[in-house]
Every structure is written in C-alpha cells, then in structure tokens.
C-alpha cells in the first residue's frame, strides 16, 4: 500500500510539474538559435558587430540575464554572443560532463566555433566566472581577455547547506525537486532573486524578462544542483593554474556581495593572475552588471583596449 501511495504521489507531482513547465516554456521561448555539440543543443543569442564578446551567466540562471539590459549597451561596439550554459535556460543537459566548469567551457567553445567566434573577450558572472576561467585555461592562445563579474573562482570554507545536500540524494531527485518544480510559489522565487541582488534593488521588469519558471523546471533544478555541488572540487584544481594565464583580466566585484564574497574570490584572483585589474564596487551586491552597468561596460571596453582590439 505504501508503494502504491508513493507511486500515486509521484505521478501527481509529475503531472503538476509538466503542466507548469509547459506554461513556462510557452511564456519564455528561446530568444536565439541552436547549435549542436555532443549531439545536444546549445542555445545562443548573437547581436551586434565588432570584436567577439562571449557572455556566460551564473548559477540557476540563463542568458536572459544579459539580454535584459547589458547586451544592448554593447552591440554598437561588439559582436555579443550570450550562451545558455549546459542544462540551463534552453541548452540541453550534458550529463557526465556538465558538473565541470572546464568541460562546460569546452562545450561552449565548440558552440562558439560554429558561430565563427574568433579570439573573444570572455565575460563570466558568478559560476560563469569559473567557466570563463576554464575557457581561458583550455584555450589561452585563443582568448583575447577575461571580464569576471563577481566570479566564483576559488575554494571556500564550509558547506553549501542542507538544500544542496538533500537535493543531490535519491529522495531529493525523485521527490523534492519535482515538489519544488510543481508547487513552489512565484513569490518565493522572487524573494530568492531579491536576496541575490541585495542590497541593490531588482530592476523593474527583470523577473518577468528572465523567466523565473524556467529555473524551476525539474531538469534545470537537477542540473544546477549537480553543478553547484561539484564546483568547489574543480576550482580547487583550477586555481593552481591561474598564474599561467597571460592575458588581460578585468574583475568587477561588489564589496557587499554575500553570495560570492570578494575576499574569498576576487581578492585572491588579484594575487593569482599576473595581469588582473580589480574594481571594487563599494556597497554593491552580487549583480554588478545590473547595479552598475556603466562600470561593467567600461571594464569590457578596458579589456578590449588592453587586448589590442580597440584603440
């Protein structure tokens, strides 16, 4: 009887989650085009003209974080290519490799090659900062510069909390994630976004544009958990090789960031990278490209000049 009840509960969750996911996909369709890597789709938006600028979003998000405002500020001067990372947004999961920021960088570089991207500036925000660093480590001669925005770059003390431990168990994958996908209130998701932005306000219209329900799909929740849980082990290995990177690096980080602390990450990058410039944004939280978009654009322009792509 217990097995029958659990089976019925799981079926109900799946039905509810599928219905909600159908609505979310209809409301937030792909904004760009797809290329295929490893037999899986990678979603990209390409706009503008000029030197190539690749943009890589953070955890649990998608490329709409960049199309909300920042991309349009850059298309007069750059050909901007924003990707959905594997398993997030509209990019398919790449099981077995997606937990590695280095492997994600390989997937995105292969996708970029199909879009004729050459010697790009690579911008990464938060988790995307680790992927951007992985991109440069994998292809140092074919990366013009890095722009790292509140990057997750180094191992950190402590653990990630109960949610990530639970969500990565059989019960978490089979019951907890479908439960969240099926029933999590939109207000709760909006509150999470507000905490990520704090102490800065969430820009008007942002939550509608980015498509919060996309982040609540079962596949995306599962992919995000896998990636976050594995990140520390990978940056533990990666950061040893950062001093080998001989390219311009611009870093932006808010001093009030409680999601990815500046002292644990960007301050250490400043020591590890021989050609890095760190801009500390006083009182800014985890989303500098929204709180200080002008300074973000300025950092990108500096990176282009330092790389010889601009006068």
Q: Can you give the CATH number for the domain in which 190 is found?
A: 3.40.50.1820
pLDDT of 9 reads: 53
pLDDT of 14 reads: 64
pLDDT of 6 reads: 41
pLDDT of 299 reads: 98
pLDDT of 182 reads: 77
**Residue 269 confidence class, pLDDT cut points 50, 70, 90:** very high
| Domain count across the chain | 1
The DSSP line for the chain is -HHHHHHHHHHHHHHHHHHHHHHHHHHS---SEEEEETTEEEEEEEEE-SSEEEEE--TT--THHHHTTTGGGTTTT-EEEEEPPTTSTTSPP-TTTTT-HHHHHHHHHHHHHHTT--S-EEEEETHHHHHHHHHHHH-GGG--EEEEES---S--SS---HHHHHHTSHHIIIIIHHHHHHH--HHHHHHHHHHHHTTSPPPTTHHHHHTHHHHTSHHHHHHHHHHHHHHHHHHHHHGGGGGG--S-EEEEEETT-SSS-TTTTHHHHHHH-TTEEEEEETT--S-HHHHSHHHHHHHHHHHHHHTTS--
- Residue 151 belongs to what domain range? 2-306
Residue 119: pLDDT over 70: yes
Residue 156: pLDDT over 80: yes
Residue 296 lies in a domain: yes
Mean pLDDT computed over 7-14: 59
pLDDT of 123 reads: 99
Residue 203: pLDDT over 80: yes
Q: What percent of the chain clears pLDDT 70, i.e. is strictly above it?
A: 92
pLDDT in tens, 183-201: 777 788 899 999 999 999 9
Give 197 or 2, the one with higher predicted confidence: 197
pLDDT of 10 reads: 57
Residue 151: pLDDT over 80: yes
Residue 105: pLDDT over 80: yes
pLDDT in tens, 39-48: 999 999 999 9
Mean pLDDT of the chain: 91
pLDDT in tens, 208-253: 999 888 888 888 999 999 999 999 999 999 999 999 999 999 999 9
pLDDT of 3 reads: 39
Residue 311 lies in a domain: no
Does the predicted TM-score (pTM) go above 0.75? yes
pLDDT of 4 reads: 37
Residue 262: pLDDT over 60: yes
pLDDT of 212 reads: 85
pLDDT of 243 reads: 97
């Amino acid at each position: 009887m217990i097995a029958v009840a659990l089976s019925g509960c799981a079926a109900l969750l799946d039905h509810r989650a599928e219905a909600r996911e159908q609505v979310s996909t209809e409301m937030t369709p792909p904004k760009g085009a797809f290329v295929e890597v490893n037999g899986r789709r990678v979603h990209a938006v390409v706009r503008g003209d000029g030197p190539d600028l690749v943009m890589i979003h953070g955890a649990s998000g998608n490329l709409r974080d960049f199309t909300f405002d920042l991309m349009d500020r850059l298309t007069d001067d750059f050909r901007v290519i924003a990707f959905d990372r594997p398993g997030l947004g509209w990019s398919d999961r790449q099981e077995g490799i997606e937990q590695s920021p280095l492997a994600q960088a390989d997937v995105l570089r292969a996708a970029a090659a199909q879009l004729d991207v050459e010697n790009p500036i690579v911008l990464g925000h938060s988790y995307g900062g680790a992927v951007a660093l992985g991109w440069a480590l994998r292809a140092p001669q074919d990366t013009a510069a890095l722009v790292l925005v509140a990057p997750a770059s180094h191992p950190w003390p402590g653990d990630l909390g109960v949610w990530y431990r639970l969500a990565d168990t059989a019960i978490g994958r089979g019951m907890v994630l479908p439960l969240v996908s099926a029933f999590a209130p939109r207000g709760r998701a909006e509150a999470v976004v507000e905490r990520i932005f704090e102490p800065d306000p969430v820009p008007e219209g942002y939550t509608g544009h980015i498509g919060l329900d996309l982040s609540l799909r079962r596949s995306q929740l599962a992919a995000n958990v896998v990636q976050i849980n594995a990140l520390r082990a990978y940056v533990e290995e990666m950061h040893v090789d950062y001093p080998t990177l001989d390219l311009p690096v611009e870093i932006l980080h808010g001093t009030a960031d409680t999601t990815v602390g500046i002292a644990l990450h960007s301050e250490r990058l400043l020591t590890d990278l021989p050609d890095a410039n760190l801009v500390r944004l006083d009182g800014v939280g985890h989303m500098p490209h929204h709180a200080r978009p002008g300074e973000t654009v300025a950092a990108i322009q500096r990176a282009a000049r330092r790389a010889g792509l601009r006068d």
